[in-house]
């Protein structure tokens, strides 16, 4: 099932939840809608499901306009953040619900329902809980039942609204891997909403980064992480260092550091910001001929294979502390200690000319 | 499961900051108990004492004489019409208020509370003003030979008016606490509106609904003020139980008055017991499944 979204907009009073959204979800793909709260990701999911109606725009399922199609006829499976299991029904009845409410002609008979529900409960590995009530289950178990319930009606699309948002960190990690595996087995077109960038990067085939009702970037986890389209995506995905500098005729300056910036050969003395990931910062004790920035070590966190250094720059190229990540071997080799003077240079750096520090990203 | 205390601390008396001294505690308890006995328990006992003062036979005669039976019948009829109507209205209103956003929602909420804030006598008078002989549609009613005031329909109307808030008031907070995600889930799974109401919404509110119905019924049967205005006090025709008590009392027929009153007191006691039993279930239903 392909989902296409054309020029979708939605207002809540004076708040713009969705601003001219265009998106295509490919068949069998697991797509993540990622963004901070208030970015419109949940609204978009609910519009796709039919739980909300957009002010303008279209939602197409397999090139068929379903903007005015009733929820019941959309054949979507929906998983809620807080599970929304029917509290007055047993687990078995919860999963069977979608089959039992079908019109008499399409309704499977009791043994068929029995078979199907048992099958689904085995799929989510909770068949031993069939006779319990939702309140007797843990959060992780409830969410797996919610998934089984959504799958019972054989939906053509599976929509998940922050499915692991209410769970604790350990269970969340387990369920993440489990969902990925389940999707690989079933290949059902799925869209899930999350504000957790790690979750999106780990689980999704493609990520849609949203902010203030707009799509900032669409791409594979690798693309959005390695080639963020703009400062917002950069700051939202992973740790990043921010530097202020200038761009002029194909060159960029950050303090004393000069970097080639051929893509900005036309630029005439523009102010710019530059982003560098902590693991893209090279740390050395001496200036070996190449340009570098002087800094001193404020704090060292040496747990695990990666050593994390907190550095303070000499000038004001960076408003905050600079974070660098180096390997343990490199750390031992340099024999670094707190207060030491070092020289840093970015291995890879992304420039965005003419951007104010934070805010007005567009 | 066996409950084994994990930490058996030494028997050092640990004092809780919110704990009052025994002296203060007992004074408060005693104060509350004596107040309750004086103002609630004593009258209740007095009702049954007075009713049975001249023995069982007189008591039974008082509550089985034709006028008393007519009053019982009318009270039951009024409740039998008012309670189901309020049940339907209460569910509909609570559903609308708790699950939807619409213009005029706060007005509807205030309107539901109106019978609580208006004196029942005023409520009765409003019906007299509308349906009475000199009222707005009184002449039209008389032409068509319909009587509402000083007749059974007026009593039913007045009863409905005073009991409107009970069920809706009970359901609104319960439904608001439960949210509408379960309904959304049901509809996405293909359930129709009626199936959603029947299989999801109603089972989730059944104890709250029962609780509201019990209170609504108690009020419907015990209402005096509003009914008194529209009734006309025609013995055997438009007298409800509480009106019958008043008439008997005014006729200095104390034993009969207390005998009939004891029926109402009995109803109150049954209501109290049911209410206590259901209350626990309501609390359970509210807390269960709330993102715990």
Q: How large is the average pLDDT for residues B237-261?
A: 88
- Mean of pLDDT over chain B: 86
Query: In angstroms, rounded to a whole number, what is the distance separating the alpha carbons of residues A276 and A260?
Result: 15
Q: Point out the residue among B190, B204, B291 whose CB comes nearest to the CB of A82.
A: B291
For residue range A36-69, what is the model confidence (pLDDT) as tens digits? Answer: 988 999 999 999 999 988 999 989 998 888 877 8
Contact at CB, B188 and A87, closer than 8 angstroms: no
Residue A112 in this model has a pLDDT that exceeds 90: yes
Could you give all domains of chain B from N- to C-terminal order, each with its CATH number?
66-290 (1.10.3720.10)
Prediction ipTM score: 0.81
For residue range A150-176, what is the model confidence (pLDDT) as tens digits? Answer: 999 989 999 999 988 878 888 888 888
Q: How large is the average pLDDT for residues A125-152?
A: 92
Does residue B193 sit at the A interface (CB-CB below 8 Å)? no
> pLDDT value at position A317?
53
Distant-in-sequence, close-in-space partners of A93: CB < 8 Å, separation ≥ 6? A86
Q: How confident is the model at residue A8 (pLDDT cuts 50, 70, 90)?
A: very high
Q: Point out the residue among A87, A150, A152 whose CB comes nearest to the CB of B288.
A: A87
| C-alpha pair distances (Å), A170 with each of A203, A281, A306 | 15, 31, 22
Buried b (16+ CB within 10 A) or exposed e, A121-146: bebbebbebbeebbeebebbbbbbbb
Contacts of A167 in chain B (CB under 8 A): none
Does residue A85 sit at the B interface (CB-CB below 8 Å)? yes
For residue range A238-260, what is the model confidence (pLDDT) as tens digits? Answer: 788 888 888 888 888 887 788 88
Q: Point out the residue among B181, B182, B187 whose CB comes nearest to the CB of A71.
A: B187
For residue range B184-241, what is the model confidence (pLDDT) as tens digits? Answer: 999 999 999 899 999 999 999 988 899 899 899 989 998 888 888 888 877 778 888 8
Contact at CB, A86 and B199, closer than 8 angstroms: yes
Nearest CA-CA distance, residue B191 and chain A, Å: 5
Chosen for mutation from B190, B197, B203, B206 (greatest number of chain A CBs closer than 10 Å) is B190
Could you give all domains of chain A from N- to C-terminal order, each with its CATH number?
3-236 (3.40.50.300), 241-353 (2.40.50.100)
Residue A192 in this model has a pLDDT that exceeds 90: yes
Contact at CB, B189 and A97, closer than 8 angstroms: yes
Contact at CB, B184 and A85, closer than 8 angstroms: no
Classified as helix, coil or strand, A335 is coil
Contacts of A153 in chain B (CB under 8 A): 189-190
* The Cα angle at residue B94 between residues B92 and B98, in degrees rounded to 5: 125
Chosen for mutation from B178, B188, B282 (greatest number of chain A CBs closer than 10 Å) is B188
Query: In angstroms, rounded to a whole number, what is the distance separating the alpha carbons of residues B198 and B204?
Result: 10
Does residue B203 sit at the A interface (CB-CB below 8 Å)? yes
C-alpha closest to that of A79 among A54, A131, A118, A42: A42
Query: In angstroms, rounded to a whole number, what is the distance separating the alpha carbons of residues B287 and B292?
Result: 8
> pTM of the prediction?
0.79
- Mean of pLDDT over chain A: 87
For residue range A196-218, what is the model confidence (pLDDT) as tens digits? Answer: 888 999 999 999 999 999 999 99
> pLDDT value at position A360?
35
Lookup: tokens for A229: 């389209």
Contact at CB, A101 and B289, closer than 8 angstroms: no
> Of A25-29, B120-124, B250-254, B255-259, which has the strongest mean pLDDT?
A25-29
**Are residues A82 and B181 in contact, defined by beta-carbon separation less than 8 angstroms?**
yes
Residue B278 in this model has a pLDDT that exceeds 90: no
């Amino acid at each position: 099932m392909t989902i296409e979204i054309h020029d979708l907009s939605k207002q809540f009073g004076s708040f713009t939840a969705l601003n001219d959204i265009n998106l295509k979800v490919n068949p069998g793909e697991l797509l993540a809608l990622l963004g901070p709260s208030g970015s419109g990701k949940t609204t978009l999911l609910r519009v796709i499901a039919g739980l909300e109606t957009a002010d303008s725009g279209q939602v197409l399922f397999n090139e068929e306009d379903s903007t005015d199609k009733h929820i019941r006829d959309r054949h979507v499976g929906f998983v809620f953040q807080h599970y929304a299991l029917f509290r007055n029904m047993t687990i078995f009845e919860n999963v069977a619900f979608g089959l039992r409410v079908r019109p008499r002609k399409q309704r499977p008979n009791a043994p068929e329902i029995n078979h199907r529900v048992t099958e689904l409960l085995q799929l989510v590995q909770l068949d031993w809980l069939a006779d319990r009530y939702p309140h007797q289950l843990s959060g992780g178990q409830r969410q797996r039942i919610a998934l089984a319930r959504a799958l019972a009606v054989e939906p053509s699309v599976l929509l998940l609204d922050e499915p692991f948002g209410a769970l604790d960190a350990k269970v969340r990690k387990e369920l993440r891997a489990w969902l990925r595996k389940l999707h690989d087995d079933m290949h059902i077109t799925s869209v899930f909403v999350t504000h957790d960038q790690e979750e999106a990067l780990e689980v999704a085939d493609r990520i849609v980064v949203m902010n203030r009702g707009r799509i900032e970037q669409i791409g594979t986890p690798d693309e959005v992480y390695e080639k963020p389209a703009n400062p917002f995506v950069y700051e939202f995905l992973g740790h990043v260092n921010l530097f202020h500098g200038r761009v002029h005729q194909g060159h960029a300056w950050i303090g004393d550091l000069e970097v080639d910036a051929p893509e900005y050969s036309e630029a005439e003395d523009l102010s710019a910001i530059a982003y560098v990931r902590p693991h893209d910062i090279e740390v050395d004790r001496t200036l070996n001929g190449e340009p570098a920035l002087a800094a001193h070590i404020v704090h060292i966190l040496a747990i695990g294979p990666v050593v994390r250094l907190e550095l303070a720059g000499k000038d004001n190229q960076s408003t905050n502390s600079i974070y660098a990540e180096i390997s343990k071997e490199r750390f031992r080799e340099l024999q670094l200690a707190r207060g030491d003077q070092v020289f840093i240079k970015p291995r890879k750096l992304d420039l965005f000319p003419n951007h104010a520090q934070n805010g007005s990203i567009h | 499961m066996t409950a084994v205390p994990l930490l058996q601390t030494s028997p050092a008396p640990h004092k809780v900051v919110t704990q009052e001294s025994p002296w203060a505690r007992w004074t408060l308890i005693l104060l509350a108990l004596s107040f309750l006995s004086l103002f609630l328990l004593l009258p209740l006992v007095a009702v049954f004492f007075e009713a049975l003062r001249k023995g069982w036979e007189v008591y039974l005669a008082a509550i089985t004489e034709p006028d008393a039976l007519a009053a019982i019948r009318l009270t039951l009829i009024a409740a039998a019409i008012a309670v189901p109507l309020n049940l339907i209205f209460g569910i509909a209103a609570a559903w609308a208020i708790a699950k939807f956003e619409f213009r005029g929602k706060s007005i509807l909420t205030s309107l539901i509370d109106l019978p609580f804030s208006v004196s029942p006598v005023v409520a009765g008078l409003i019906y007299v003003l509308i349906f009475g002989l000199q009222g707005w549609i009184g002449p039209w009613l008389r032409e068509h030979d319909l009587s509402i005031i000083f007749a059974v329909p007026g009593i039913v109307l007045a009863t409905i008016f005073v009991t409107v808030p009970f069920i809706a008031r009970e359901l609104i907070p319960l439904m608001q606490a439960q949210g509408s995600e379960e309904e959304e889930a049901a509809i996405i799974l293909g359930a129709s509106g009626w199936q959603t109401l029947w299989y999801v919404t109603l089972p989730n509110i059944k104890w709250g609904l029962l609780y509201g119905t019990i209170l609504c019924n108690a009020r419907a049967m015990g209402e005096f003020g509003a009914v008194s205005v529209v009734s006309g006090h025609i013995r055997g025709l438009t007298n409800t139980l509480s009106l019958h008590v008043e008439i008997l009392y005014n006729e200095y027929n104390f034993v009969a008055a207390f005998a009939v009153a004891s029926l109402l007191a009995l109803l109150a006691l049954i209501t109290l017991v049911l209410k206590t039993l259901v209350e626990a279930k309501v609390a359970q239903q509210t807390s269960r499944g709330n993102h715990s």
